[in-house]
Each structure stands twice: as structure tokens, then as C-alpha cells.
Amino acid sequence: MRFGYGTNGFANHRLPDALDVIAGLGYEGVALTLDHCHLDPYADGLGRRVAEVADRLRTLDLAVVVETGARYLLDPRRKHAPTLLDDDRGLRVDFLRRAVAIGADLGAEAVSFWSGIRPAPLDQAVAWDRLVAGCEQVAEAARRAGVPLGFEPEPGMLVETIAGWRRLHRALGAPDGFGITLDIGHCRCNEPDPVPGCVAGVAEHLVNVQIDDMRLGVHEHLEFGEGEIDFPPVLRALTDAGYRGLVAVELPRHSHAAPAVAARSIDFLRAAQKASVEGRPS
């Protein structure tokens, strides 16, 4: 199993420095959130900067997935806006297409994205139609680029559960390359099944895993041991599912202590992985 760490938890570091710290702690990959501070897709010299990051990833032997959850990249006043549901959703489609192109240049294992929150005045059916249309455009760009997509169910958004992802997958015609990003914390927060069961249920579609602790009904990303998840059975379920992608720590509000949090996290995951193997029936 390959553990990674999300750069959204290193927001106070320059990207090369963040990559150095992550690799130095023994992580094998990075979940790279495109943002103002880390590989801004709208800043000048993008091609050169992408090539430099690709070189650095190769030097450090870090695998990469591309994340697109930057809070204020597209609008300085509205968090995560515009989404695929908003009137100005073309900006989001453009951003996701850029993310796919960057992912292709970096050799990313997946590009991850989500639906967004339905604007209050917008009819549910209209929001759904907008989401499907936007995903079709992004999926076509990803198909041409040869980059897998991982769509993430996100609490509070139009698609917030695995069941919602299944509905979207069907609406798109179940295309190849349109997989699921599974946040382990979200499974505890708002899924009806136990977390290992969530993993098993989407095994054939799993292209990206984010990992963090969480409590039932509370969407707050916690350090390991601060929530309610029993992690050895979760890691065992990922192994049994045949998952070979990154399992990247997702702690976006911990940048103030990033090196220490990342060090504690890798120690915890290694111990949980060991326990997952030792606890397996012979």
C-alpha cells in the first residue's frame, strides 16, 4: 500500500519544500491541489512550471494525483465557486480541463473533483442536468488525455454519498475512466454502511483514496485517533479490494503544523497497516 499526503495540508509551504518534506518522511506519493500557492493553473509560465514539478516528482520518486478543491482559486469572494452547478459554471469546466491537461503532463494516476453545493434558488432537476453536462465535458477531455477521473462524493454537496455517485455514473453511461474518489472520513460521516463495507462496495471503480479520521454526522477532517474510525479493517478492505492507487492523507486545516502532522500521520498509518496484516485470519 502506498501512502501519500495532500498539499492542501501544506498551504504555508512552497510546493518544492512541501514535496521535499513529504518525501523525506517516507510518503510514496502526493495529492496535489492546484491552487494559488501550489502550481496555479492560471499563472504565467504554466508549461515550464509543470515540467519543473514533474522533474521534482521523478527525482523524489513520488507518485501524484491531482486534486481540484482549491477554495478561492476561481473567485476570491465565494468559497469553491463557481461549481458545475452555478450559472457561470463554464469557469469550473475550464479549470477542470486545465487540471486534466496538467495531470496528463505530470503522469497523474487520477484527477479528482466533486459536484458542488446546489445554489439555493436552483431547482434540483436543473442542478442535476448541469452536473451531468459538465461531467460529460470533463470526461471527454480526460478520455482524450488518457487520465482517469475520480469523482468524490462530498458531504453537503449535490452528490454527497456513494449512492449519488452511482446515479451519476449511470447517467453518464458508465464510461470507462470515470471512477470514484473515496474519502475514508466521509464514509464514517455520512454513509449508512461501515467504512470497510464502503470500500468493498466500490472496489471495481476505486481510483483515488483520501484518508483522515472523522465522526458520525460531523464533516470535520481530523487527525488519526481523534475520530471514530478503526483503521486496520479499512486498510485490510483496501488490500482485499485489490486497490493499488495512492492512499493520501487529507488534512486541509492543519497547514500550521504540517511537518509534525505529516510525521504523526505516516507513523499511525504504518502501525495500522501492520495491524491490518497481523489481524488477518490465517
pLDDT of residue 161: 98
pLDDT of residue 158: 98
In 3D, which of 35, 117, 42 has the Cα closest to residue 70? 35
Take residue 209 and report the three cell numbers written for it: 483514496
pLDDT of residue 282: 35
Take residue 216 and report the three cell numbers written for it: 458520525
214: Cα within 13 Å, side-chain hemisphere? 24
Query: What are the counts of helices (DSSP H) followed by strands (DSSP E) for the chain?
Result: 9, 10
From first to last of its 282 residues, the chain has per-residue pLDDT tens of 999 999 999 999 999 999 999 999 999 999 999 999 999 999 999 999 999 999 999 999 999 999 999 999 999 999 999 999 999 999 999 999 999 999 999 999 999 999 999 999 999 999 999 999 999 999 999 999 999 999 999 999 999 999 999 999 999 999 999 999 999 999 999 999 999 999 999 999 999 999 999 999 999 999 999 999 999 999 999 999 999 999 999 999 999 999 999 999 999 999 999 999 987 653
pLDDT of residue 280: 65
pLDDT of residue 253: 94
Judge contact between 167 and 175, C-beta under 8 A.
no
User: Which residues contact residue 38 at a Cβ distance below 8 angstroms, ignoring those fewer than 6 apart?
Assistant: 7, 10, 11, 15, 18, 32
The distance from CA 91 to its chain's CA centroid, rounded to whole angstroms, is 20
Helix residue spans in the chain (DSSP H): 15-24, 46-60, 90-106, 124-145, 162-171, 184-190, 195-201, 231-240, 258-278
CA distance linking residue 104 with residue 89, whole number of Å: 23
